[in-house]
Amino acid sequence: MDETTKKPETPTQRSMFAQALGFAWDFGAAIALPLVAFGIGGRWLDRHFGTSPWFLLGGLLFSVGTSITILVLRLGKIIEKITKK
């Protein structure tokens, strides 16, 4: 067999790739969605009350805390799942 011929991927390898991709997507969404939502909400409140940039900054800080909480909870579930195997 020459070096250019690759072995076909096993179902386990494909499954692990899909899990890793899902993991990355989950973590990206857990960071991006609160950041965008609270950032836009803070900006809207600043325009409404004329308090720029305080609500925006507060929203961004709150989104960081929210993202960390979501990531810690999801990571805890993943670690629990791995240790059961």
Buried b (16+ CB within 10 A) or exposed e, 15-24: eeeeeeeeee
Running along the chain, 85 residues long, what does each successive block of 10 average in pLDDT? 62 81 92 96 96 96 96 92 83
Closest CA to 45 of 55, 35, 60: 55
pLDDT value of residue 81: 86
| Cα angle 72, 75, 80; round to 5 | 125
DSSP strands (E only) in the chain: none
